[in-house]
Structure 1
Amino acid sequence: MKNICTKFLNGGTPSTQVSNYWNGSIPWITGADIVEQKVVYRRLISETAVKESSTNIIPKGNLLLVTRTGVGKVAIAPFDVAISQDLTGIILDEKIVCPQFIFYYFDGNEKALQQLNQGTSINGITRDVLQKLKIPLPPLPEQKAIAYILGLMDTAINKNNLLIEKKEQRKKWLMQMLLTGKKRLKGFEKTKWKIQSLENFIKPVSREIEKPDKPYLGIGIRSHGRGTFLKQDELPEKNTMETFYVVRKDDLIVNITFAWEQAIAIVKPEDDGALASHRFPTFTFIEKKGCVDFFRFFILQRRMKHMLQLISPGGAGRNRVMSKSDFIKLEFYIPEFGEQTAIAQILQSADKEIQLLKSKTEKLREEKKGLMQVLLTGKKRLNQDLQD
């Protein structure tokens, strides 16, 4: 590295006790501000802070490498930016090397950089280690061509991710409108939504079994409507509970201890047959009354979380326990089965669009990774036409 760099610049943190060091006009970043190879600054410092502290300004277009606390993250400075001690600014000799090429080389070798960590209390890459780092370099025109090709891949990935964001925003709007009755579907406009209790759509179910004598899969529910997860219990004999309950695909399940944090979900196909404790009351949907696919979305609403909090009295954490009897009596504006089904189909279609786009992003990332593996190592060379 020392042969292709004109300067290595360390960073520092201006004293937070000096008020005129902060809220200036110069972006100042730590390692945490390098997010997905981009700079996302949160704080500004003054010119006085730069003069009177150990921070340094890295000019636009130069390399930012995290060498402490999050080692291996890299970005190209999109503007002049001051850095903390987490980072090293690398000023490259552009007569010899293309900064974007080195950026992609570091980006593709983050794990290798992490292995260069040294130190006990605070790990990091030392200046000496960084200077001795060897990088395979093709001629400058080929470096630029490689950087251009990988940049095209990044552009395609970013465009696709922007489309995902738009689709997710649209889905959020659809949920807000369709699940509250603010927007009605064609053919259902004349049917009024009624305030109805959940017992009109679901009924309790109890599939009680004795404690297994062999390892089993238990089910858990993540808070904030983030679905279920499975956990393997290898030592059931150490479990103090003597009775368990079987859950089935499409059951509605609630964790009474964390219901106030919206720990509620629909059981996924891969969860079928898992075991739950008495803290996880389970319900099935009444045929032609409750559409399971509608309720997959309905239970994610803020209104649901609010209502679960109301029936979970007590203090914070495990002291707040949901009343099982009150849960099924909760009342909401809910459409009839036909409209539930129609709403579910629209929201499922939105989900499918998003998943297809996410799959496309993953495919593009894999293609980019494959290109990096061959282009940045010299396994595949570019012909002269591409370099020009």
Structure 2
Amino acid sequence: MAETKNTKTFYNTQIPSDWETPEFGNVFSFLKSYSFSREQLTNLPTNDGIRYIHYGDIHATYENEILDFEIEETVPYLIDGLINPESFLKENFPVLQDGDLIIADASEDYKGVCDCIELANIGVEKVLAGLHTFAARTSEKRIAIGYRTYSLKHEQVIRELRRIATGTSVYGVTKTNLSKVKIPLPPLSEQKAIAKVLSTADAAIHTTEKLIAQKELRKKWLMQQLLTGKKRLKGFGGEWKEMQLGEMFAERNDTKFFDLPLLSIGQNGVYPQDESIKKDTSNSDKSKYKRICPGDIGYNTMRMWQGRSALSDLEGIVSPAYTVVTPKKNTDSLYFSYLFKTPKLTNLFWRNSQGLVDDTLNCKFKDFSIVKVILPPTKEEQTAIAQVLQAADKEISLLKAKAEKLREQKKGMMQVLLTGKIRLNQDLRINRMKEAIPNHLNH
């Protein structure tokens, strides 16, 4: 491993002098893709067993550059009968194989122009490239398997793809224009070393995401058991009792608190409006905006049945579109913040909301207050249950932060490896690389 000394020009930057810069069309050949609609797909295995990858999957579903069929379960199937299996024998339908690229030829923003994935571990399944995609294939003598998708990930290649994209609301790149884009290619041994490092990073990310999924399932199970009384925590007994929410909460209707900060209520919490990614659409006249305090629960009056509620740990004001409820002495609001997200409660809120259709339903406090719930006999048990669920949430949050850090580390590796700022040998030791890259990035 070493830093680059001898360089040459590649678009508006420098790359190692021994890297090739062929045009994409000189190393990749295009394969046919097929335009089936979402209605013609299913997530269930079909008799034909034909997998189908749509441009929307590349943009939104598959985060990693390598789509590994051994671990990815979300690749949809074509519904039976759309393609005659005998057609494959006649080679009318080129089946994709390990190392092939699927490239999105359209995007609603420049960021997604020519997003691509490389296929891995397909096995015996048949895979087709779908609507608004290009499929491309090359030889292992030119580009190593596991590195091919990264040939389009160099920052200057991305800039060039965005430059040649055409359109207004949707941006696209033609095969002809993509064919002329130059790509930087390290020697084959270095490609393999880079692919090995980045695949190790992908494996760490996948392991963490799998653990997150397991912890989320465990939390769901805990909610189903603890919030219904099917399972009791040690030290608690007695019969659960039916109560109306009006016995547990009062409505807070404090207004004209002009000195308090404006807050937003999202599905996962209450936070300052200036930290929101959404545009501030609040009125200049905030005389009717409602005060919310730590321990209060705010909910969207028209969307409570969709679980749009959150516990606040801040004091501020929120839009009149929200109802604010404050807990009484016998109420642990953290417990209820979990309870209000359960399917049973959201259904009860829907049934008690007033309106002709879902878009006009309102669950005002008078409707909220008459909803009946089965509760633990003491506030102490509410608190104990809430603490168990809160601990599960914290565990999930830590794992999500770890996954995000791993993704950032991989991004940092890509910045130095795909540009040639750091060179690798084929006999690279992976654990040395993992230590060296972050140190390089910190300088």
Within 5 A, what are the aligned runs for 1:175-324?
A: 175-188=223-236, 190-209=237-256, 218-222=262-266, 225-228=267-270, 231=273, 236-237=283-284, 239=285, 243-269=288-314, 272-277=315-320, 279-287=321-329, 289-324=330-365
Counterpart of 2:384? 342
Q: Deviations over 1:152-205 (max 9, x none)?
A: 0100110111001000000000011001100001100x3221111223322223
Per the TM alignment, residue 145 of structure 1 is displaced from its structure 2 partner at its CA by 0.7
In structure 2, stretches of 5+ residues that fail to align are 1-22, 41-45, 70-74, 275-279, 431-443
Give the counterpart letter for 2:56 in structure 1: A
Return closer, same or farther for 1:234/1:328 CA change in 2, 3 Å cut-off. Answer: closer
Q: Provide the secondary structure at the position in 2 that maps to 1:203.
A: strand
Give yes or no for contact 1:33–1:41 (8 Å, CA) kept in 2. Answer: no
Give the counterpart letter for 1:205 in structure 2: R
Deviates more, 1:158-167 or 1:24-33: 24-33
Q: Using the alignment, how far apart are the partners of 2:185 and 2:295 within structure 1?
A: 56
TM-score (norm 1): 0.84
Give yes or no for contact 1:252–1:265 (8 Å, CA) kept in 2. Answer: yes
Structure 1 position 12 matched with structure 2 position 22: no
Per the TM alignment, residue 107 of structure 1 is displaced from its structure 2 partner at its CA by 4.6
Q: Deviations over 1:13-69 (max 9, x none)?
A: 3799x9xxx974433332123332437133153346669998643333322222234
Q: Deviations over 1:96-120 (max 9, x none)?
A: 2213212134356595344432245
Deviates more, 1:197-206 or 1:303-312: 197-206
Return closer, same or farther for 1:374/1:48 CA change in 2, 3 Å cut-off. Answer: same
Choose from 144, 155, 158 the match for 1:98: 144
Choose from 80, 84, 101 the match for 1:63: 101
Give the counterpart letter for 2:209 in structure 1: N
Give yes or no for contact 2:354–2:361 (8 Å, CA) kept in 1. Answer: yes
Higher RCO (Cα < 8 Å, 6 or more apart): 2
Per the TM alignment, residue 280 of structure 1 is displaced from its structure 2 partner at its CA by 2.9
Give yes or no for contact 1:67–1:126 (8 Å, CA) kept in 2. Answer: yes
Q: Using the alignment, how far apart are the partners of 1:324 and 1:3 within structure 2?
A: 64
Give yes or no for contact 2:189–2:425 (8 Å, CA) kept in 1. Answer: no
Counterpart of 2:4? none
Q: Provide the secondary structure at the position in 2 that maps to 1:305.
A: helix
Q: Deviations over 1:235-271 (max 9, x none)?
A: 845x5x85332111221223333333333322243xx
Give yes or no for contact 1:262–1:305 (8 Å, CA) kept in 2. Answer: yes
Give the counterpart letter for 1:297 in structure 2: Y
Q: Deviations over 1:122-172 (max 9, x none)?
A: 632222222222222221011101101100010011011100100000000
Counterpart of 2:436? none
Deviates more, 1:257-266 or 1:333-342: 257-266
Q: Using the alignment, how far apart are the partners of 1:31 and 1:157 within structure 2?
A: 23
Give the counterpart letter for 2:371 in structure 1: L
Give yes or no for contact 2:309–2:337 (8 Å, CA) kept in 1. Answer: no
Q: Provide the secondary structure at the position in 2 that maps to 1:77.
A: strand
Counterpart of 2:374? 333
Q: Using the alignment, how far apart are the partners of 1:24 and 1:234 within structure 2?
A: 50
Per the TM alignment, residue 372 of structure 1 is displaced from its structure 2 partner at its CA by 0.6
Deviates more, 1:31-40 or 1:330-339: 31-40
Report the count of equivalent residues. 372
Give yes or no for contact 1:142–1:387 (8 Å, CA) kept in 2. Answer: no
Give yes or no for contact 1:26–1:81 (8 Å, CA) kept in 2. Answer: yes
Q: Using the alignment, how far apart are the partners of 1:122 and 1:280 within structure 2?
A: 36
Q: Using the alignment, how far apart are the partners of 1:152 and 1:15 within structure 2?
A: 35
Structure 1 position 160 matched with structure 2 position 216: no
Choose from 352, 364, 370 the match for 2:406: 364
Return closer, same or farther for 1:81/1:234 CA change in 2, 3 Å cut-off. Answer: closer
Return closer, same or farther for 1:23/1:275 CA change in 2, 3 Å cut-off. Answer: same
Q: Using the alignment, how far apart are the partners of 1:7 and 1:184 within structure 2?
A: 62
CA RMSD of aligned residues (A): 3.3
Counterpart of 2:397? 355
Give yes or no for contact 2:99–2:148 (8 Å, CA) kept in 1. Answer: no
Q: Using the alignment, how far apart are the partners of 2:282 and 2:413 within structure 1?
A: 46
Q: Using the alignment, how far apart are the partners of 1:332 and 1:3 within structure 2?
A: 65
Choose from 76, 89, 93 the match for 1:41: 76
Deviates more, 1:45-54 or 1:164-173: 45-54
Q: Provide the secondary structure at the position in 2 that maps to 1:32.
A: helix
Q: Using the alignment, how far apart are the partners of 1:204 and 1:25 within structure 2?
A: 56
Give the counterpart letter for 1:274 in structure 2: I
Give yes or no for contact 2:102–2:134 (8 Å, CA) kept in 1. Answer: yes
Q: Deviations over 1:62-104 (max 9, x none)?
A: 2222223453221223434222352222211211221321213
Return closer, same or farther for 1:26/1:332 CA change in 2, 3 Å cut-off. Answer: closer
Per the TM alignment, residue 331 of structure 1 is displaced from its structure 2 partner at its CA by 1.7
Q: Provide the secondary structure at the position in 2 that maps to 1:281.
A: strand
Q: Provide the secondary structure at the position in 1 that maps to 2:383.
A: helix
Q: Using the alignment, how far apart are the partners of 1:255 and 1:119 within structure 2?
A: 38
